[in-house]
Amino acid sequence: MSLNVTDRGRLNRFLEHLEESARVELGYPVAFDIDYKPLEPFLGYSLNNVGDPFASGHYRLNSHAFEREVLEFFAEMTQAPDGQWWGYVTNGGTEGNLYGMYLARELFPDGIVYFSRDSHYSVSKNLHFLGMRNIMIRSQPNGEMDYEDLRETVRIRRDATPIIFANIGTTMKEGRDDIGIIQGVLDELVMDKRYIHSDAALCGGYAAFLEPRPAWDFADGADSISISGHKFFASPIPCGIVLAKRGHVDRISHSVAYIGTRDTTISGSRNGFTPMVLWYAIRSLGVDGLRRRLHNAMAVADYAEREFRAAGIEAHRNRAALTVVFPRPAQAVCEKWQLAAAGDIAHIICMPHVTRAQVDALLQDILSERGRAAPGDPK
């Protein structure tokens, strides 16, 4: 089988469009710096990771063995309790967050979910799906949760179990909620029953490498954690990882006879190719390689913040963040560079593929729209 000339031409034009679009993409947390071509032969098979990755089933065209290795890597990165955790590779961060909230609902049907104003838009959608009571908490200017508002809101509802949806990197500002502070608030209110879920979509890929280490993982009190695979790990296919304490998962598990395994996930059929992508990134780069990617990206973020400020643009970012926030530029600039904008701010996210040259080109476009040249450039 082969395509006709017209269809082949269409694919070629689409590839050219993708190549050009990738060169001017700075606003979203994706990366293009890992070459996954060695995995192309596996696209010839229907890899379906149906069921629990830790249980055998009847369908053998799966990548469960690779998936387990990926999960073990992330369990170590998130300081999961030895032998007391479980997880699977998801379709993306939203599914991981849905799973965490599902576990919380089954454990504490009387619970109220508390999440900050800067949480991802999918949080409200997930809570609507699950029919969970919820209250939005104010955010601090840097995108982090307002802990005083959390304290007062929980205090007047002490009859309900608090379920905390913590952001480990908000969408616009990369603000990180501090689970240690949240735990202290709940301790102060003598809320012995609680559930904390960490939405670490972007930052979960590198939070373990940051110094000082943020309070975000199982050692800090998280009950479940969601991390995206198509962000820091540059998967070309959207995916994610969800991890949870095994005791919580056992509450919802049940056996399905015709697939020969347990039903512990949200979806039935699951992508068997994405675990191989994540496995390839982990094995080819290793911890040292991943840490170097982060340090290089942080250096570009430092550069972007410094250059924007030198040009008179009030750019800023949270500590050890890849996200640089600045006043919203002209719409033409936002469209060209695919900048994420909300209200009067926009941002770039200095993912591992982003270069200083791209930052310079964006800055020049912003200044040109303002009618002036960058420092040192000819008038």
Share of the chain above pLDDT 90, in %: 89
Model confidence at 268, pLDDT cuts 50, 70, 90, reads confident
Distance, in Å, from the CA atom of 323 to the CA atom of 350, rounded to the nearest integer, reads 6
Considering only CA atoms, which of 62, 115, 53, 65 is closest in space to residue 90? 53
Entry field: residues in the chain = 379
Element (H, E) at 242: strand 240-245
Considering only CA atoms, which of 326, 305, 338 is closest in space to residue 370? 326
Provide the token pair at 113: 């979910």
Q: What pLDDT sits at residue 57? A: 81
> Residue 46 pLDDT more than 90?
yes
Considering only CA atoms, which of 232, 272, 209, 190 is closest in space to residue 93? 232
State which amino acid sits at residue 302.
D
Q: Looking at the domain 5-32+286-369, which fold is it?
A: Aspartate Aminotransferase, domain 1 (3.90.1150)
Provide the token pair at 193: 């029953």
What are the structural domain ranges in the chain? 5-32+286-369, 39-282
Angle in degrees, CA 39, 280, 283, rounded to 5 = 145
> Residue 257 pLDDT more than 50?
no
Q: Looking at the domain 39-282, which fold is it?
A: Aspartate Aminotransferase; domain 2 (3.40.640)
Sign (positive/negative) of CA torsion 309, 313, 318, 324?
Answer: negative
Distance, in Å, from the CA atom of 100 to the CA atom of 80, rounded to the nearest integer, reads 15
Distance, in Å, from the CA atom of 235 to the CA atom of 216, rounded to the nearest integer, reads 23
Considering only CA atoms, which of 123, 113, 51 is closest in space to residue 88? 51
Distance, in Å, from the CA atom of 246 to the CA atom of 305, rounded to the nearest integer, reads 42
- Average of per-residue pLDDT values in the chain: 94
Considering only CA atoms, which of 224, 219, 218, 213 is closest in space to residue 165? 224
Considering only CA atoms, which of 100, 370, 333, 126 is closest in space to residue 223? 100
Sign (positive/negative) of CA torsion 85, 110, 94, 273?
Answer: positive
Q: Which residues of 281-312 are buried (b: 16+ CB within 10 A; e: fewer)?
A: bbeebeeeebeebbebbbebbebbbebbeebe
Provide the token pair at 251: 């509450």
Angle in degrees, CA 110, 111, 114, rounded to 5 = 155
Q: What pLDDT sits at residue 325? A: 98
Distance, in Å, from the CA atom of 170 to the CA atom of 200, rounded to the nearest integer, reads 9
> Residue 261 pLDDT more than 70?
no
Share of the chain above pLDDT 70, in %: 95
Model confidence at 375, pLDDT cuts 50, 70, 90, reads low
CA diameter of the chain: 73
Q: Would you say 119 and 165 are in contact if contact means Cβ atoms under 8 Å apart?
A: yes
Provide the token pair at 187: 């301790």
Provide the token pair at 350: 């200095």
Rounded to an integer, what is the distance from CA 75 to the centroid of its chain? 16
Model confidence at 55, pLDDT cuts 50, 70, 90, reads confident
pTM of the predicted protein model: 0.93
Distance, in Å, from the CA atom of 124 to the CA atom of 130, rounded to the nearest integer, reads 10
